[in-house]
Amino acid sequence: TFFIYEGNVFVNDAFGTAHCAHSSVVGIDHKWRVAGHLMKKELDFFQKVMENPQRPFLVIIGGSKVADKIKLINNMIDKADEIIIGGGMGYTFLKKIYGISIGKSLFDAEGFKHIDEILEKAKSKGVKMHFVKDIVCAKEFKNDT
């Protein structure tokens, strides 16, 4: 959610897109750009989790690119008890860990290079890693496949 007040103040309350280089985030020309109340609430909660998480602490990380999340994953390994890797990047982990064919599923070649170090760090810290196990494969992307 974005708000513009009096033509010169831009208030961003869209936590999920604040990091994106979308025109609605970076393509604006306002004298003042501020985070809104919803953004503050998200950041306050995130800070609480990062400083003193309740145990057990399970982290779920998804998305499509492992390379974009390496720092996040490594940081969470230092804090979490268990981590679930899902979304599109799960296929990159499955290809590396099990050597399975992932067909035309999402694959992050750069992130692939870092999976061994991620897994080794998790093992050394006693963090259990979980990956998707049930996969449906098809030759076509259709509703009746």
pTM score, two decimals? Answer: 0.74
Rounded (10°) angle between helices 70-77 and 115-125:
10
What is the spatial distance between Cα 144 and Cα 81, in angstroms, rounded to a whole number?
A: 39
Q: Other CB atoms closer than 10 Å to residue 140's CB: what's the count?
A: 6
Does residue 53 have a cis peptide bond before it, meaning omega lies within 30 degrees of 0? no
What is the spatial distance between Cα 15 and Cα 94, in angstroms, rounded to a whole number?
A: 30
Burial (CB < 10 A; 0-12, 13-18, 19+), residue 94, is buried
35: three-class secondary structure by DSSP: strand
pLDDT bin (cut points 50, 70, 90) of residue 145 is confident
pLDDT, tens digit (0-9, with 9 covering 90-100), for 2-42 = 555 556 777 877 777 777 777 767 776 777 778 888 888 98
